[in-house]
Structure 1
C-alpha cells in the first residue's frame, strides 16, 4: 500500500505528486515569454489540478527565471488559486558569465536576494518551501542559519529543505539552524535505483559503483524528512520513448511496465510512479513534464497497489542482474 507522505504527518496538506515547472517558459535563454508559453502554463496547471496535484516545484534558475515568471502570470489570471496551492522553489546555483564561473552559493546575501527574486517573479508575498539546490563546498552554516531565520521571521518562506544532499550535509546545516529541514529532493526512479541499491549492496563489492549517499534514505526516514524524487518518470524511457539504442535491461523493464499497466488497466506512467511510491519512505515524485496528456497519465499512480513480488520484479528488471 502507498504510505502517507511525511509532509502530511507534519500537518501540511501536500499532494502525493508534485508538478515540476522546470519546462515552463520555453528555452534556457534570454528570449521573451510568449502567449504560447502562458497557454502551455495554463494547460499544465489545469491537468495537474484535475488529478489532485496542489504542490508545484520551481527553482530560480529554471529557464533563467522565465519558469517562475510564467507561473506568476498564470496565477495572476486565476484569482484565489494562490491560497489553494503550495509553491516550492530552490536557490543556490549561479550561472557563469564573462566575469565569473558557474558556481554554487549559499551565502546569506545570495539566499536572501534569491528569495526576493523568486517572490517578485511569481508575484506572491511568500513561498511555502525553499530548498537549497546543490551543496555549496564553501558553505558557512552560520550564514545559512541566519538567512533562514530572517526569511522565516519576515514571513517570506514557511518551510525549508535541501536538494541533492547527503545525511552528513543535512546534519551540518541542521546543527546551526533552529528551523527544521523537512525536504530532501534527490534523483530517484525505476531507472535511477541507487537509493535501493545502497541498501541491497551492503557488504558487497558492487557498492563501490553506487553514488547514492549511504545512510541518507534511512536518515530522512528517521527524521521524518520528505524525500522527493526528481526525474521520477526517467525521461519516458519506460513509457513510450524510442528504445532502439537502449540496453536489454531497459527494454525488459519497459516490457514489464507495459504488461503491468495492461493488467491493472492503467498507464505505464502510473506504474512507474507507483513503483516509487510503494517504497515505505513515502517518496513524493516531482513530475517534470508540462504535457497535459502525460500529466493526466499519472492519475492512477496514487491508487495503484503493487505487490511485493511486482515491485521486486520491476526492480530486478531495471538492475539487469539477479538479486544477490
Structure 2
C-alpha cells in the first residue's frame, strides 16, 4: 500500500482509508475480520463519526463496534490512524437530525463519548461534520484549543465545506484545517466538471463546488472522497451494475489491462488525480476491501483516466 501525508499534518498514512459507518450492522466477530482484512491490505487509516449507528439505532454504535474490533484484530494503536467527526445534533429517540451544533460544550462532550466508544484516549483527527451556519468562531476555537491541549485530538479538519466556509473557520483557529471530506468518485465528478466546463457554451452556470479542488491543492488540504462507489442514483453502487453498461465495460477492460479488478480500477482512478485525494471506501466485505486497496498499486495512463471519465457519462468540451 502506497502512503501519503495527510494535509501538512505529518501523518503518513495509507492512500486508501476505510470508513466504518456500517460496521454496526456486523456482529463482533465479522467486524473484527473486516478490520483485520483492511489492515492486512495495508490500510491504516479509519474513519467514523459520533452519529454513526444507523443499524443499531444508537449514537456511537459504529465507533463502539470498531473500537473493540481494532483491539480484537491485534492492531497496534501507535501504528493506525483513527479519525472521527462531530457537530451534528442527532437523536435516534427523537426523529433523527435536529440541526448542527458547533458549541464548545457539544463538541467536547461528543468527543469524550467517542473516545470511550473507540477504546482510545486520543484520535488522530477530528472533523467538523458539515456546517453549522449558527456557529460562533470563539466557541469552535475554545473546543479545538481544549481538545488539542488535553491531547485528545492531534489534528483537525472539516467535511462537506467550501473554500469560504473553511477560510472563515480558519481565521479564528490556531490549528490548521488539514482535511476536507467531500463526495467524489467516477459517478460524482462535480469538482472536475466545474473546471472542465468553465466558460464554455454548455457551462450550466450552477457550480456549487466553489472551486474547492484547486483551493484544496493551494492550501495543501487532503480531500477524502466519501461514497466513491455510489452512482448518485436510485441504482446504488455502479461496479457490476447492469444500469451502467458502458462504465462497467471500461472498468472490465482496464482491469484486464492492469491485472486488477473493477473495484481496484475505480479506486486507482481517484488516486491518479494529482490533488492527492484519499478514497474513503466503505465496504464491510473483506474481499471487496482487498480489491479496492489493491487499486493503490495501479497507475492509470492518462488516456485511460479520461476514458473512464467519459464512460461514466461525462462530457469533454
Return the TM-score normalized by structure 1. Answer: 0.89
The alignment of Structure 1 onto Structure 2 pairs a total of residues equal to: 307
- Residues 1:206 and 1:298: Cα distance change in structure 2 (over 3 Å): same
Residue 98 of structure 1: CA displacement? 4.2
Report if aligned partners of 2:8, 2:221 keep a CA contact under 8 Å in 1.
no
Structure 2 residue 165 is matched with structure 1 residue 175: no
* Counterparts of 1:202 and 1:175, CA distance in 2: 29
Q: Which residue of 2 aligns with 1:55?
A: 45
Q: What does the per-residue CA deviation read over 1:67-123, in whole Å, with 9 as the maximum and x for residues that have no partner?
A: 111111223435662121100000111225549962111111111111001001111
What secondary structure, in the 3-state scheme, does the structure 2 residue paired with 1:178 have? Answer: coil
Aligned counterpart for 1:42 among listed residues 24, 32, 42:
32
Return the TM-score normalized by structure 2. Answer: 0.91
Q: What does the per-residue CA deviation read over 1:120-143, in whole Å, with 9 as the maximum and x for residues that have no partner?
A: 111111000000011111111221
Q: Which residue of 1 aligns with 2:146?
A: 150
Q: Which residue of 1 aligns with 2:86?
A: 91
Q: Which residue of 2 aligns with 1:319?
A: 313
Residue 158 of structure 1: CA displacement? 0.3
Q: Which residue of 1 aligns with 2:10?
A: 11
Report if aligned partners of 2:8, 2:178 keep a CA contact under 8 Å in 1.
no
Question: Cα RMSD (Å) of the superposition?
Answer: 2.2
Structure 2 residue runs without a partner (length 5+): 54-58
Report if aligned partners of 1:194, 1:210 keep a CA contact under 8 Å in 2.
no
Q: What does the per-residue CA deviation read over 1:125-179, in whole Å, with 9 as the maximum and x for residues that have no partner?
A: 1000000011111111221111101100000000000000001100000000010
Q: What does the per-residue CA deviation read over 1:45-72, in whole Å, with 9 as the maximum and x for residues that have no partner?
A: 1111111000100000111321111111
* Counterparts of 1:12 and 1:21, CA distance in 2: 20
Structure 1 residue runs without a partner (length 5+): 27-35
* Counterparts of 2:41 and 2:201, CA distance in 1: 43
Residue 12 of structure 1: CA displacement? 1.1
Report if aligned partners of 1:3, 1:278 keep a CA contact under 8 Å in 2.
no
Structure 2 residue 141 is matched with structure 1 residue 159: no
Aligned counterpart for 1:287 among listed residues 271, 281, 287:
281
Structure 2 residue 292 is matched with structure 1 residue 298: yes
- Residues 1:320 and 1:251: Cα distance change in structure 2 (over 3 Å): farther
Which protein is richer in strand relative to its size? 2
Q: Which residue of 2 aligns with 1:33?
A: none
